[in-house]
Structure 1
Amino acid sequence: MDQQTPDDAEAVRLAAVGALARDTASLMQAAVVDVLRHHLSRRIDIDLAGVTFLDAGGIRTLLTCRADARQVGCRLTLSNPQPLVYRVLNVAGLLRPFGVTRSHVAVAAQPAHAGRAMQLADAAAPC
């Protein structure tokens, strides 16, 4: 997961890659908790452009992360979901709670990623 922080620390973007599933979701939660503990951010945006799969375990983790963020006055949003991930979020009724609109859907399909592991990495740039 890439972590990008603008200079004003108003928002942090986390970019997820791979599957967001029961067996990989703990990486997402750890990244969000790390941001909540070490940054004075009012918003965390999780960029889902690289996420190729989302299951119930991934949804549960996103909801847990959202609840954790709300406890400290931080808003958690999602952006750039692939069409399949967008459909899963829509069926689950989570587009509005996470601030996802049709314009936030990734335009081009990303190549499939081998395995089911979520990859995490650090980078810096504004959200």
Structure 2
Amino acid sequence: MNPAGEIDHHTGDALRHALDVALTAHPRVVVDLGGVTFMDSSGINVLIAAHHALTQAGGWLRLAAPTDTVMRTLQIVGVDAVIDCHDTLRQALAD
């Protein structure tokens, strides 16, 4: 999954829907954040909910290539301690 631009209260539902579809197809999901320029609490909440749902399904959620701005947001709220964050997509896809 490769969202781009801003993930906020206006676009969070699109990400939530995409993650819901991914969850039904496969319990292991990588979200490439390399194209995301901004993320607010709406995006954080979507990622945490997806992480919990995937974990309960026996899978996982990994975040790949977050921009510096997005990574800083993930670190401030502690998401990086809960959801695996990787510097590159290749690292996130490796088992």
Fold conserved between structures, TM > 0.5:
yes
Count of matched residue positions in the alignment of Structure 1 and Structure 2: 90
Q: Check if 1:49 corresponds to 2:40.
A: no
- Segments of 4+ moved more than 6 angstroms: none
* Identity level (%): 28
RMSD, matched Cα: 1.7
Q: Check if 1:71 corresponds to 2:46.
A: no
Q: Say if 1:86 and 1:105, in contact at 8 Å, map to a contact too.
A: no
Q: Say if 1:83 and 1:105, in contact at 8 Å, map to a contact too.
A: no
Larger radius of gyration: 1
**In proportion to residue count, which structure has more helix?**
2
- In the alignment, structure 2 segments of 5+ residues that lack a partner are none
Say which structure, 1 or 2, has more relative contact order (CA 8 Å, 6+ apart): 1
Cα deviation, residue 105, structure 1: 6.6
Cα deviation, residue 96, structure 1: 2.4
